[in-house]
Structure 1
Amino acid sequence: LAQQKAVVARLELRVASLVQERDQLMASLCTVEGDTSALAQKHSSLSEELRRVAADRDRLEVELLRVEEGQRAAAQARDVALQDLTGLERDLVRLTDLNADLNARLRQQHRESSMVRDRTQDLEQEVQALQLALRETDRLKEDLLLAEQERAALSKQLDAQASETSTKAMGLQQLLDEVRELTRERD
């Protein structure tokens, strides 16, 4: 019984430890999912900005063609447009790089989220197995308690039978003594 209690205590400590680890992993998962959501929003806004920049570049190229057909003032406007286009192309390259980086980070966070989810499932299965073991231990303790109660009841019955047998033996001994006494008196 003491060993079973020790096993139960160890199992309960292990369950508490696993539950705490599961809670920590769930908190990590929430953080990772929050970061993933924020990165997805940033990715969406960068994609929109990328489309806007591409549209601006296309618009500037059309404007550039018009400027080339114009006068000297139009040529100056063309130079300005070329400078804007160069800046926009740099921005486009930068945004493309940022987009690729964000995609890589999203994939990494997705992998981390999957790992955390898998570990959480493993821990939950372990906790369930330990809880089943605890329930089985509780059932065994109840069976042991019933067996102890039955043993105590049988012990009481045996004590009562022994007492009754002892009383009968004393009565028989007394009768035997009386018979011997009567036999002696008769002889």
Structure 2
Amino acid sequence: AGAGKDNDDDDDEDDDDNDEEEELAKTDEEDKETGKGGDEVRESAGESDDEETREEEEESFDPIPRTPEENEEESNDEEEQDLRLSEEASIQEEKDAYELYREAPIASPTIPSLILENLLTFNSAFRFEERLRSLETSFSEYRQTNQFANAVFVIPGIVHQYMDHQMKEVVREVVQIQTDQLQDSLQRENDEFLRNI
């Protein structure tokens, strides 16, 4: 009987919880229909924003009073305006001068052909071609007369041929040795096989 009584108490508590939940749900529905539900939250959020703004203003408050420096600003403005005007004037002068010269015909200078023929060219001033021919001739003569220079010139070709020949010989010998060893090994295996039969 005691156990049944405990169950009845639990049922009463569950009924009370369900009643409260139903009331909250009804209140929420009414708030949605009337549009009241979130006003309190919105107002409190707005108030906290105002408080934050006031706190920031208090933190950034400068206790030292500042006097405006209007005289300097006015003089700077006047100087800047004068500067701008002088720049605009100089730009306009440049444009006018450009248009004046652009419109004026430019006469092509006439140079007598005799002067043009007698002007120095790079080749005639430095005798470039003559010097080049002279160097080629000198180098050719040097190679012919100097046997040491010819020998040095030929050495790389000789070394290359020697290395090619030596490498071919070495490769041929290595291949021959490998072939001989392989033949010997196969012959031994063959002889052993024949003995076992």
Q: Which has the larger radius of gyration?
A: 2
Query: Considering the TM-score relative to the shorter chain, is it more than 0.5?
Result: no
Higher RCO (CA 8 Å, separation ≥ 6 residues) = 1
User: TM-score under structure 2 normalisation?
Assistant: 0.27
Larger proportion of helix: 1
